[in-house]
Structure 1
Amino acid sequence: MTRRNDSIIDIDGSRGEGGGQVVRVAFSLAAITSQAVRVNNIRANRPKGGGLKSQHATSIEYLASTTQADVEGLQVGSKTVVFRPTRAPCALIDRIITIAAPSEAASTSLIFQAVLPFLLHASGPSDADAPITLTITGGTNVSFSPSFEYLSQVLLPTLRARYGILVESSLESRAWATGPATKGCVRYTIHPLKPGQRLQPHQTRQELASLAASPTISRVDVSIIVPSQLQAAFQDRLASDLAAVLPTADVNFVLLEDSGHDARVYVLLVAHSADGAFRWGRDSLASYPKKPKAQPTFVRSLSTALVKDLHREVTAPGGSMGDEYMQDQLVVFQTLADGESTFFRHDEKSPAYLEDERMRLDRGDEPFGQGSLHAQTARWVASEMLPAAKFFNKGTVCAGVGFPIP
C-alpha cells in the first residue's frame, strides 16, 4: 500500500530534552502513519554541536528503506532531516530483518526503540502468521541508553503486561563503548498485530491506580556484569544493602558474568511487585577506577547509590507504576493504543486521583506532564504527530487513537 501526504509536520528538535528522543518518536510515528515530517535543530541541546548520531541515522535509514521514503539530510551530524514515507507498515513482507549499526558505540537498544512500534504494525500479507526476526548489531552496554538487560527484564515484560505485545529477546554477543572493541549482536522475535487488530490496553486506569497506591516488593533480580575479581564483592554488598532497605524481598542473582575488562562494570536491579503488576529497574554503567585510592570504596559506593535509587522509586509517597526511564518509553504505545491507558509516577498527589478526579485535558503544544523531561518531550512530539491522541491529568492518562492495521 502506498500513501502520500503533501502536508508536512515540522518538529523543533531543540525543544524539551532536545536530544535523540525527539528523533525516535517523530520518525517512528511518521513511518507508522505515513505522514511527512521535518525535524530541525536535531539534538541542539547536546554538546559537540549536536546533529544525528550513528544510531539515529541507522534507525531512520531502516525506516526510510522499508517505507520507500523520500529523505533529505540523512547523514551523521545532520541537524535537519525531512522524511516523506510512501509505503505503509502493512506492506512489509520481509520477516527476517537485519540492522547493522556502524560501531559498538551505537546503541542497539535505541535502534530497537525506534523501529519496534513500526514492526508491530507490519502485519504483512493477510495470510502471514510468521513473526518477524530482527537482528541488530552494535553496542549492548552503552552510556546514556538502556542496556539489553533492561529491555529484556523490564521494558518487554511491561509491554506484554500492559498491551499484550509479545517480543522474545536473546543476546548473541555483547559490545561496550569502553575497553577493547567488540561486536555486539542482539536478536528479537516480534509478533506483529494481525490485520484488523489494534493495540489494546490490558488494564483500566482504575485497576492500575489501585495496584500502584502501595505496592509490596516481593523480589529484586540482580544482574552483575563486572570483572571477575569484583563479582564476589558486588554480590555481598548488594545483598547487604538490599536487605537493609527491602528486608522482606527475595534477592535473586539472575546474571553473573565476567565483563572481561576493568573499564566495563554494569549492574542492574529489577524490583517486582508481589502482585506481578509492576517492575522498576535501576542500573549503573561505570569503570573500575585506575587510581588506587579510589578502588577500596568503589563497590560500596556504587552499590549504595544504586540501591538508594531503587528504594526511592518503589517507596516514594504516592506510589508509581514503574521507573523513571520506563515512563517515556511507553508514550508511543499509549498514543497508538485503542482507548485509555495510564502511567503514573509519584507526584504531589496519590494515584487515587486517577480514579476520582475529573479528566483535565493537557495542552500538547509544548513538552508537558509529570515525570522526566524525556517523558514530557515524548508526549509533546507524539501529540504533534498524532493530534487525535489526548493526554489528561498532567500526562498520566492517554486516550490513544487506536491506530488500525488494514
Structure 2
Amino acid sequence: MIEIDGSYGEGGGQLVRTAVALSAVTGKEIKVTNIRKNRPNPGLKQQHLKALETAAEICGARVSGLFQGSSELFFAPVEIKGGKYNIDIGTAGSITLLLQCIMPAMPFAKEKVELAIRGGTDVLWSPTIDYLKHVTFRALEQLGYAGSVTLKERGYYPRGGGNVSAVFEPCKLHGFHFRKAEENKRTGEGLTGEADVKGERSQQEITGISHASNLPSHVPARQAESARSLLLETGYTSIIEVQSHELFSTGSGITLWTGYCAGSALGKRGLPAEKVGRSAAEEVIEELRAGAAVDTHLADQLIPYMALAGSSSYTVRELTLHAATNIWVTEQFLDVKFKIEEKEGLFEVSVD
C-alpha cells in the first residue's frame, strides 16, 4: 500500500485526484491522510466525493473515508471497467475537476467509457469546459490519448445544472515533446500557438468563446469586444464566438486559446463585462509573451500523462506549486523521475 500525505506541497484536491487516478492505473492500494489539512475548510468537499465515487465505481474499488470533511481516504482498485455512467455532482461542483480524477486511468480501461455529467461547467478554481475541450484534450491527443467532451448546457455557480457528455476509448500512450511554434515548424512535429502543419491558422490568431446565461445579450458581446480590443493592441488577431443563452443557472464567462496557451475569466455581480474580457485577454497574452510551449495550467495537468507515456517534455514560464505537487505524487506511483531545468528564462520539464 502507498501512503500519501495529503498536506504535501499544494495540499489540495488535485493531489487526491491524481493519487486515485494512478492507484487505478497501477492497481496499488492507497491511503491518503491529512486531506486538505491546511485549507480553511479541511477534508473532502462534496465535489471531491462525487469524483472519488465515480473513480471507485469505474474501477470497482473498495473505498473508505468517503464522507464530507473526511481527512483520510483508503482506495483499493480492482479493474478499470468500461460502460456508461450517469453522474450528478449537485449544485455547481466542477465537472472538469471530476474528469481530472478519472482521465489518466481511461487509456487502461477494458472498453469504452461513456459519462453523462451534471454540475458546473464554468466555475471558480477549475478549468473551464472550453479549456478542457480545446486545450487539454488537444494536448493529450499528441500523447495518443483517445477522449472527447461535448458541452450540452453550461452551468454556473451557485446553481450548476450544466450538462456534459464525455467519451473515452482504451488507447496506448506515446511520448511527445511540446515545443514553441517556431521549433515545431522547423521539425514538422506537433502543434503549438495554432501554427500547425496544415497552415489553417497563423500563430498570432486567438480563438475564443464569450458566453452568458439569463443576462442581456450585450454582456457576452462586451466581454468579447473588450478582449478583442486588448489582443489587437498587443498584436494578436482573434475570432471570438458570442453565445447568449437562457439556462437553468445564471452567469457569464470567456475562454481564449491558441495552441496550448489560454486565458479565461468568469463574470460576477457588480463586475463590468469589459473587465471580464480584459482579464482573460491579459492571461493569454502573458502566456504567449513568455514564449513557452504550454501554459501554467496545462503544465500541471500533463504530468501524469507524460509519466505514463514516457519520453516527453515541455517548457513553461513558471513551475507552479500545483505542478511540483503533481510531479511528487506521480513519482510515488510510477518508476519515473522528472527532470526540471531552467533554460532561457523558462522551465523545461521532461521525463524519460
Shorter-chain-normalised TM-score: which range?
Answer: 0.7 to 0.9
Of residues 228, 231, 250, the one that matches 1:242 is 231
Give the aligned partner of residue 189 of structure 2.
none
1:41 positional shift: 0.8
CA distance in 1, matches of 2:166, 2:59: 21
Q: Pick closer, same or farther for the CA change 1:159–1:76 going to 2, 3 Å.
A: same
The reply on whether 1:23 has 2:16 as its aligned counterpart is: yes
Of residues 164, 169, 176, the one that matches 2:149 is 169
| 1:143-197 CA-partner distances (Å, limit 9, x unpaired) | 111111111111111111x21212222112222113xx3522200121212xxxx
Contact 1:104–1:184 at 8 Å: present in 2 too? no
CA distance in 1, matches of 2:134, 2:96: 13
Of residues 55, 73, 86, the one that matches 1:98 is 86
CA distance in 2, matches of 1:224, 1:22: 31
| 1:264-313 CA-partner distances (Å, limit 9, x unpaired) | 22111112xxxxxx321110112130xxxxx6xx2333333332221111
Give the aligned partner of residue 372 of structure 1.
320
1:37 positional shift: 0.8
1:262 positional shift: 10
Identity %: 28
The reply on whether 1:221 has 2:222 as its aligned counterpart is: no
Match of 1:330, SS state, is helix
Task: State the number of aligned residues.
Answer: 331
1:205 positional shift: 6.8
Contact 1:391–1:399 at 8 Å: present in 2 too? yes
Give the aligned partner of residue 348 of structure 2.
396
Match of 2:288, SS state, is helix
Contact 1:265–1:288 at 8 Å: present in 2 too? no
Q: Pick closer, same or farther for the CA change 1:250–1:188 going to 2, 3 Å.
A: same
Give the aligned partner of residue 292 of structure 2.
320
| 1:13-60 CA-partner distances (Å, limit 9, x unpaired) | 111111011111101100111101111111112212x11112221122
1:373 positional shift: 0.7
Q: Pick closer, same or farther for the CA change 1:384–1:208 going to 2, 3 Å.
A: farther
Structure 1 letter corresponding to 2:331: S
Of residues 320, 339, 342, the one that matches 2:313 is 342
Alignment of 1:3-402 (within 5 A): 8-48=1-41, 50-85=42-77, 87-89=78-80, 92=81, 94-101=82-89, 103-124=90-111, 131-160=112-141, 162-178=142-158, 181-193=159-171, 198-201=172-175, 203-204=176-177, 210-211=183-184, 217-226=203-212, 227=215, 228-246=217-235, 249-258=236-245, 264-271=251-258, 278-289=259-270, 298-316=272-290, 319-337=291-309, 339-346=310-317, 371-386=319-334, 388-394=335-341, 396-399=348-351
Match of 2:315, SS state, is coil
CA distance in 2, matches of 1:231, 1:207: 31
TM-score for the superposition, normalised by structure 1 = 0.75
Q: Pick closer, same or farther for the CA change 1:150–1:307 going to 2, 3 Å.
A: same
Unaligned runs of 5+ in 2: 187-191, 196-202, 342-346
Q: Pick closer, same or farther for the CA change 1:204–1:268 going to 2, 3 Å.
A: closer
Larger radius of gyration: 1
Match of 1:224, SS state, is strand
Contact 1:20–1:56 at 8 Å: present in 2 too? yes
Structure 1 letter corresponding to 2:22: L
Give the aligned partner of residue 4 of structure 1.
none
CA distance in 2, matches of 1:22, 1:378: 7
Contact 2:15–2:325 at 8 Å: present in 1 too? yes
Give the aligned partner of residue 349 of structure 1.
none
Q: Pick closer, same or farther for the CA change 1:158–1:16 going to 2, 3 Å.
A: same
Give the aligned partner of residue 199 of structure 2.
none
CA distance in 2, matches of 1:206, 1:19: 29
1:258 positional shift: 3.5
Contact 2:107–2:173 at 8 Å: present in 1 too? no
Contact 2:260–2:298 at 8 Å: present in 1 too? no
Unaligned runs of 5+ in 1: 1-7, 125-130, 272-277, 290-294, 347-369, 401-406
1:69 positional shift: 2.4
